[in-house]
Amino acid sequence: NGLTLGNNWGDLIRLLDTCLVNGLPLTSITSATIDAQGDITLNLYAAHNCMLFQIIELSGFTPAELNGKYRIKDVPSVNQIILKAEHVGKSINTTGTAKLASLGYEIIFRDTNDVKRVYRAKNPTAQHPFIRVDETISDGVNSYSSAYAKSA
């Protein structure tokens, strides 16, 4: 589930969309169980590259109360994670999907050419800083040339 920033126009926006707004999907879940402490153990099809304390968002599970955000409690292997939960005595009927949760931003502006974005934090109690990204291809006169380094 690694993210890469390529050297193509629009790559930075796609990466920011994933991190800030959408979240990063993990590989498919092969099995999911709830242990005696109520924690959720996910076994994944391939390596997940997740680390302790990251937030995982579950969706499509039944019972529906399992859907939500959980902190990673343990990473026993490269394809297994244990999520801190409080679901003692419950069982999983349907296994859904998992993703690294987004950072809680929304897109408040997107241009028609899909090369400009303005992001804003959704948290109403926090200050609302804007992140403005413009990946417009230069005409060589009115903005930086295409040789200008991309950075975030």
Spatial contact of 67 and 123, defined as CB atoms under 8 Å apart? no
Percentage above 70 pLDDT, the chain: 88
Nearest residue to 115 via CA among 130, 147, 137:
137
pLDDT average, residue stretch 98-111: 94
State residue 5's pLDDT score.
85
Edge-to-edge strand list for the sheet holding 130-134: 105-110, 116-121, 130-134
Q: Which domain does 126 fall in, by range?
A: 11-21+104-134
- Higher pLDDT, residue 137 or 58: 58
- 41 and 65 housed in the same domain: yes
Biggest alpha carbon–alpha carbon distance for the chain: 66
Query: Rounded to whole angstroms, how far apart are CA atoms 110 and 40?
Result: 37
Q: Per the domain annotation, does 139 fall within a domain?
A: no
Q: What is the pLDDT of residues 77-101, one digit of tens each?
A: 999 999 999 999 899 999 999 999 9
- 85 and 128 housed in the same domain: no
User: Residue 150: is its pLDDT beyond 90?
Assistant: no
- 93 and 57 housed in the same domain: yes
pLDDT average, residue stretch 118-126: 83
Nearest residue to 42 via CA among 86, 100, 99, 83:
83
State residue 62's pLDDT score.
94
- Higher pLDDT, residue 28 or 128: 28
Query: Rounded to whole angstroms, how far apart are CA atoms 56 and 29?
Result: 13
State residue 56's pLDDT score.
97
- 37 and 17 housed in the same domain: no
User: Residue 109: is its pLDDT beyond 60?
Assistant: yes
Residues contacting 60, CB < 8 A, separation 6+: 67, 94, 95, 96, 97
Q: What is the pLDDT of residues 52-80, one digit of tens each?
A: 999 999 999 999 999 999 999 999 999 99
